[in-house]
Structure 1
C-alpha cells in the first residue's frame, strides 16, 4: 500500500491516520500485510497491535524481522482505550526519535459497546490531536461485516483518511478532535441509587478519600483496587479545586460488577490531548486525568461550557 491520496501525494513528515474496512480475512490480510511491508521497505519501525487470529496471521508473515516489527496482543493492550496512547503509541514513537513509525491496530472489535465503545471513539479521535505534526502512519482495521453501521460511520469521523488497501481518499465525514474527544456524547446523570457528597475546599479532600474507601469496601473491591480508585478520585477532585471556582460533586454507585465514581464540576476542558500524554517539559497539566486512565478500568469524560463530568469505572 502506498500512502497517496486521491487528491495528490502527501509529503513525508505528515501524520497519516487511516481506517480500512475489511469484509473477510483475505481483505484484512491484504491491507495489513501491505501496510507493514511498505513500512519495512522504507525502514520504518512498525508496531502491530492486534488480537487472536489476526495477530497470529501478521506475526506469521513478519515474525522474523526482529526489532523492526514489534507485536502486541490488543486484547490486553487495548482493553482500556484511555491508556493506549500514553502506554503504547507514545512510548513506541518516542523510542524512535527522528524516524517515521508505523502502527497497525484494531481497538474496536465486535462486542465493544456502551461506555467502553464511546471511550474507543474518543481515543481514536484523540490520536489525531496527539500526533499532529509527527512523522507517523497508523492503520486502524474495522470489521465491516461484524460491526454495526454506526461504528463504521464513527470511524469516518475519527480518521482523516480511508483506504481500501490500495488507494487512499479523504474521509468526507471527518471531524476535528475538539468536537469529539471531550464533547461528542454527554454522560447521563448518576442514577437515583448513587450516594453523593459535595466538596468545596482542600480541607475536604480527606473526606473525599474516606468516602471512596468506605464505598469501595462495601462493593467488595480488593484493597489494592480500592487504593487505585482512591488515588484517581482524589486527583480528579483536586483538579476541581485547582482549576474551577468549585464546588464539586462526587457520586458513587455500582452497576453489575463495576463500581462507578463520577465527578461533576463547572470546569471546562478544551484540550483533547489532556490526560493522553505524560506531562513533560512542554506540558504541565493532565496528571490527574492521566492517573485516572492508568489506575481505573475505564474513564469517560464530557466537558463543555456547561461544566465537566468525569466517570471512572473499576471492575469488582
Structure 2
C-alpha cells in the first residue's frame, strides 16, 4: 500500500471530505498535505484565495505547490487535461505517487453543478491509471444538500478528522451518470428564443448565434467560441443523431445560450466531452465545446438528446 493511501484498489484514490468550519477544513486537509510531503511525494493544493491563505499559514506545509484553484477549475475538461499533464510530468521525473487536494466548483460558489457532477464521476475512469491520491473537500455550510448527496456517490473514499475510509455510498460512475437527476436550466429557457431553427445547416445556426451576440455584452472571444461549439454540436446532431434537429438561441446582457436537440440516443461513453475520445456517434465536437464554453450540459430527456451550450456568465 502506497504511503498512507486507502487500501483496496490500485491507481487513482479519489476521496471526498466534508467540513463545516475553517478549523475542520484545516484538520482534514493539512494532515493530508503534510503526509504527502513527509512521504516525499509531490503535493499540490488548488483552492480559492481564502482557503489557500489558511493552508499557507499552517505549519509544516512549506513544500506544497499551490495552484490558483479558481483558474485551475474553470472547466471540467480543462481540469482533467491539466491534472493528467501535471501527474504525467511528475511521474516522468521519477515520482511514484502524487497527492492533490482541490476545491471542485459547485452552486455554493456560484457555479452550475451539472458538468462538475460529471467530472467527479468521470475522473474515476479518466485518472484510473495515474498514481494519484486526490482529496476533494466540500464546505457543507454553502454546498446544497443535493450536491453533497451526489458527491457521496462519486467518491470511493471519504476522509474526515479520524482518517480515511471506504465510502459505502459510492456508485459505479456509469450507473451514477445514467440515473443522476439533472435539473439545471438557464432562466433564459423560460423566455421565447431569439432564434428557433429546425434541421438547420451549420451556417444557419452560426448566423443565428452571431446575431444573438449583438444583443449581449459577452467578450468577442467567448462569442467566437460559442459559434464554433454550436457548429460542432449541430453537425454531430445532423450526422450522428436522428431528425428532427431542433436548435434554439437566447441572449441576455451577460450570456448567450444555445440548445441543440435531436431524436437520437446521443453518445454512450461517459467520458464524451471530458476527454478527446472518438465514439460511433462523434465525441471530438463535444470535447471542443467543453474546452471553450462557460458551461455545457448533456441530457437525455423525453426521448431526445439535448446539448446546452453557454457563453458568458452562467447562473447556478
Q: TM-score range by the shorter chain?
A: 0.7 to 0.9
Query: Which residue number in structure 2 is paired with residue 75 of structure 1?
Result: 70
Query: Which residue number in structure 1 is paired with residue 272 of structure 2?
Result: 274
In the TM superposition, what are the counterparts of 1:152-231 in structure 2 within 5 Å?
A: 152-181=148-177, 184-186=180-182, 190-194=189-193, 195-199=195-199, 204-231=201-228
TM-score by length of 1: 0.83
Q: Secondary structure at the match of 1:125?
A: helix
User: CA offset at residue 73 of structure 1?
Assistant: 1.7
Confirm or deny: 8 A CA contact 1:15 1:131 kept in the other structure.
Answer: yes
- The worse-fitting range, judged by mean Cα deviation, of 166-175 and 225-234 is 166-175
User: CA offset at residue 94 of structure 1?
Assistant: 2.2
User: CA offset at residue 210 of structure 1?
Assistant: 1.4
CA distance, structure 1, for counterparts of residue 28 and residue 310 of structure 2: 35
Unpaired segments ≥5 residues, structure 2: none
User: CA offset at residue 51 of structure 1?
Assistant: 0.7
Q: Secondary structure at the match of 1:84?
A: helix
CA distance, structure 2, for counterparts of residue 71 and residue 218 of structure 1: 39
Confirm or deny: 8 A CA contact 1:30 1:165 kept in the other structure.
Answer: yes
Cα 1:2–1:110, aligned 2, differ >3 Å: closer, same or farther? farther
2:251 is equivalent to residue 251 of structure 1: no
Confirm or deny: 8 A CA contact 2:16 2:137 kept in the other structure.
Answer: yes
Query: Which residue number in structure 2 is paired with residue 261 of structure 1?
Result: 258
In the TM superposition, what are the counterparts of 1:1-316 in structure 2 within 5 Å?
A: 2-4=4-6, 9-10=7-8, 13-61=10-58, 64-65=62-63, 69-86=64-81, 88-97=82-91, 99-108=96-105, 111-112=108-109, 116-181=112-177, 184-186=180-182, 190-194=189-193, 195-199=195-199, 204-254=201-251, 257-265=254-262, 266-278=264-276, 286-303=283-300, 306-315=303-312
Unpaired segments ≥5 residues, structure 1: none
Q: Deviations over 1:166-198 (max 9, x none)?
A: 422222222222134466234659445112112
CA distance, structure 1, for counterparts of residue 239 and residue 43 of structure 2: 40
CA RMSD of aligned residues (A): 3.0
Confirm or deny: 8 A CA contact 1:161 1:170 kept in the other structure.
Answer: yes
Q: Secondary structure at the match of 2:70?
A: helix
User: CA offset at residue 275 of structure 1?
Assistant: 1.7
- The worse-fitting range, judged by mean Cα deviation, of 138-147 and 175-184 is 175-184
Q: Name the count of aligned residue pairs.
A: 302
CA distance, structure 2, for counterparts of residue 169 and residue 84 of structure 1: 26
Q: Secondary structure at the match of 1:139?
A: strand
Q: Deviations over 1:189-248 (max 9, x none)?
A: 944511211226xxx222221121112223344432221111111111122233224442
User: CA offset at residue 311 of structure 1?
Assistant: 0.7
CA distance, structure 1, for counterparts of residue 307 and residue 112 of structure 2: 14
Q: Deviations over 1:258-297 (max 9, x none)?
A: 21111112242221112212459x9996321222122111
Q: Secondary structure at the match of 2:108?
A: coil
